[in-house]
């Protein structure tokens, strides 16, 4: 507004001077403009000075508030966030998942199977040939369940096959060595034998490693052939980063004994007896299946 008023006054003066008409009317106009400037300029300057004063007051207030912040709060805000320790970061995989802290006292199914497989292979060789050595990694307080012949009851019998299972609530006896355990299963005057073992499960029990093993024992003498099928629960003690067999428990519900008389086939050919009265049977090229049964029973 100040600039506009000055421009108007200047324009009027120069216009009149150009026409050389300086009169009382001009003097009145110039006087009016000056009065207008006197009235307008203070009003225009007042808000600017007031705004400057308010800005100074706000700045002083902010400075005072900043100076009033307690030292402990200022120190807390300036403290950087804790960083992750190196030991923790090393346990994180590339995908960001926490890796298990594997120690020597933790065994998984694969490691237990690898450690115990040589044991079962050596025991199988001993069962097949008693001149071989027994496994040595057995604890001094080893024990195993064993059952006598009288502990079984017949559940199926049809010549030449007999199937027996343990009697209900039959308490096992205890063998204190592997040799005694194998001897309790063997037949008198055994002429052939075989053992097969397969670990199917690994657990933790009472601080020790526990494995479930499917066991098959096969014995032959002059009178009969006997096969034992059972699930063994084996308890292993950790010793010098290795496993030592401490206990063998037989699951009674899985312990089954099958007997077949020696020299008798398990299957017999009944083709002739069944088809003897059928017309044209005698003219057939393949009269019986005895050829194949001989190979099954071999």
Domain spans in the chain, listed from the N-terminal domain onward: 1-46, 109-264, 268-298
- Determine whether domain 109-264 maps to CATH 3.10.450.50: yes
Q: Are 185 and 175 in contact (CB under 8 A)?
A: no
Predicted model pTM: 0.55
Q: Are 34 and 12 in contact (CB under 8 A)?
A: no
Sequential pLDDT tens for the chain (298 residues): 555 655 565 565 555 555 544 555 555 565 665 566 556 555 555 544 455 455 555 555 544 444 444 554 444 444 444 444 433 333 333 334 333 333 444 667 788 888 899 999 999 999 999 999 999 999 999 999 999 989 999 999 988 889 999 988 888 999 999 999 999 988 888 889 999 999 999 988 777 899 999 999 999 998 899 999 999 999 999 887 789 999 999 999 899 999 998 887 777 777 767 766 666 665 554 555 566 666 666 5
- What is the rounded CA–CA span in Å between residue 222 and residue 164? 20
- What is the rounded CA–CA span in Å between residue 100 and residue 92? 10
> What pLDDT was estimated at residue 133?
95
Q: Is 90 left (phi over 0), alpha (psi -120 to 50) or beta?
A: alpha
Tokens of 77: 């805000």
Q: Any residues with CB less than 8 A from the CB of 220 and at least 6 apart, and which?
A: 187, 190, 191, 192, 193, 226, 262
Question: Among 117, 122, 121, which Cα is nearest to 135's?
Answer: 122
């Amino acid at each position: 507004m100040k600039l506009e008023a000055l421009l108007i006054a200047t324009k009027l003066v120069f216009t009149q001077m150009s026409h050389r008409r300086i009169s009382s009317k001009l003097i009145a106009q110039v006087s009016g403009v000056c009065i207008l400037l006197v009235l307008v300029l203070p009003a225009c300057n007042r808000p600017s000075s007031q705004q400057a004063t308010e800005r100074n007051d706000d700045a002083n207030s902010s400075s005072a508030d900043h100076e009033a912040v307690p030292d402990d709060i200022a120190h807390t805000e300036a403290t950087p966030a804790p960083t992750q320790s190196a030991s923790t970061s090393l346990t994180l995989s590339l995908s960001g998942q926490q890796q298990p802290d594997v120690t020597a006292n933790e065994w998984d199914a694969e490691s237990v199977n690898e450690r115990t497989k040589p044991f079962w292979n050596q025991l199988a060789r001993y069962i097949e040939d008693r001149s071989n050595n027994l496994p040595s990694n057995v604890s001094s307080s080893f024990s195993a369940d064993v059952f006598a012949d009288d502990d079984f009851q017949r559940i199926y019998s049809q010549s030449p096959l007999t199937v027996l299972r343990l009697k209900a609530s039959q308490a096992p006896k205890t063998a204190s060595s592997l040799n005694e355990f194998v001897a309790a299963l063997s037949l008198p005057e055994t002429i052939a034998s075989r053992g097969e073992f397969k670990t199917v499960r690994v657990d933790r029990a009472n601080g020790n490693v526990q494995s479930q093993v499917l066991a098959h024992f096969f014995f032959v003498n002059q009178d009969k052939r006997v096969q034992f099928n059972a699930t063994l629960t084996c308890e292993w003690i950790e010793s010098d980063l290795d496993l030592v067999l401490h206990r063998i428990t037989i699951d009674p519900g899985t312990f089954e004994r099958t007997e077949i008389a020696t020299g008798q086939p398990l299957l017999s050919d009944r083709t002739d007896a069944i088809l003897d009265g059928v017309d044209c049977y005698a003219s057939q090229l393949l009269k019986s299946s005895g050829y194949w049964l001989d190979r099954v029973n071999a």
